[in-house]
Amino acid sequence: MKKLYSNKWVIFSLVLPGVLVFLFAILAPICLSVYYGFTDYSGMGEAHVIGFKNYQDLFHDSAFGRSLLNSLLLAIGFICIQHPLAIIVAAVLDKLQGRAEGIFRCIYFIPNVISVAVIAYLWKFIYNPDFGLLNNLLKAFGFQGQVNWLSQQNAIWSVLLVLIWHGFGWGMLIYYTGIKNIDPVLYEAASIDGAGWWTTFFRITLPLMKPVIQVNVTMAIISALKQMETVYLLTNGGPSNSTQFAANYLYQQAFKAFKYGYGNAIGVIFIIICIAATIVLQTIFRDKKEA
């Protein structure tokens, strides 16, 4: 077997499929996006090179700026609200053991296996100002009047709540898997030394979960930038672009406004932000020994 894997042609044949997938499914589309970002292509007809005009227009596009701000707010919500809760829930589930552990793990993950369309329309009914669940709950507690949860003033916070809730299961499951991979001997030693739950959580669980946290936080930032389906079905960026996100705005410009070149310029900015965020997070999470 060692002789087989030392053969250069065998190595080449094993690596080639992955290289081809990367070239044609990832690198080639990125290169085409960069090219079309410098054109006025509408999706039909000829493409004319116009230089940096699309990028200049982006800096003066208030809707695009709003989409980046909303993506930043969502990323903060993921990192500061969703992930701390997900780590704590994962740690508690790990301590439950038995049938209860499996039942609650499934319950927390249910929103992630439901269709995005179902999720969006479910929350539309919850937010409905006339017969929605939230307004009925407020009435039950004595609040008079109707709240329009998807108005221009409230819509972004309502959408952020849905997105944070919907993605909770994935974050929790990743942290749960990371905790399960921690050697239980460490917890047993801490228990013998008299350490309580919170002490072991902060002194053992969190430090050993550092690589998992790095991956999850990176995915959260990228996910915040590429939110599209739920936003599209819930508000489609409205009202007045108050719930606009980068991916949804890209879709609107490229395929509804027929500004394909402009949409690709948005895509290039999106790629640059993702790469920059990844580099920054790698720097933040890098061990002092590696520095």
20-73 per-position pLDDT tens digit: 999 998 899 999 999 999 999 988 888 899 999 999 999 999 999 999 999 999
Q: What pLDDT sits at residue 283?
A: 86
Residues paired with residue 39 on neighbouring β-strands, in sequence order:
49
Tokens of 181: 């991979």
210 neighbors 281 (Cβ within 8 angstroms): no
Q: Angle at the Cα of 22 (from 223 to 290), degrees rounded to 5? A: 65
pLDDT, averaged across the chain: 88
Condensed to tens digits (0 to 9), the pLDDT of residues 251-287 reads 999 989 999 999 999 999 988 988 898 888 888 887 6
146: left (phi over 0), alpha (psi -120 to 50) or beta: beta
Say how far apart CA 158 and CA 160 lie, in whole Å: 5
Write the CB contacts of 15 (distance below 8 Å, at least 6 apart in sequence). none
Query: Given a cut of 70, is residue 1 above it in pLDDT?
Result: no
205 vs 290, which has greater pLDDT?
A: 205
Q: What pLDDT sits at residue 39?
A: 94
Q: What pLDDT sits at residue 123?
A: 93
How far, in whole angstroms, is CA 276 from its chain's centroid? Answer: 16
Query: What integer is the mean pLDDT of 168-177?
Result: 91
**Phi/psi at 39 (5° precision):** -125, 170
Query: What integer is the mean pLDDT of 234-242?
Result: 89
Query: What integer is the mean pLDDT of 165-177?
Result: 91
Query: What integer is the mean pLDDT of 95-99?
Result: 81
Alpha-helical segments (H) within the chain: 2-5, 8-22, 28-36, 53-59, 62-77, 83-96, 98-113, 116-127, 133-140, 155-166, 168-180, 184-192, 197-200, 206-208, 210-225, 229-234, 246-251, 260-285
Global pTM value:
0.87
Condensed to tens digits (0 to 9), the pLDDT of residues 129-169 reads 888 889 888 888 888 778 889 888 889 999 999 999 998 99
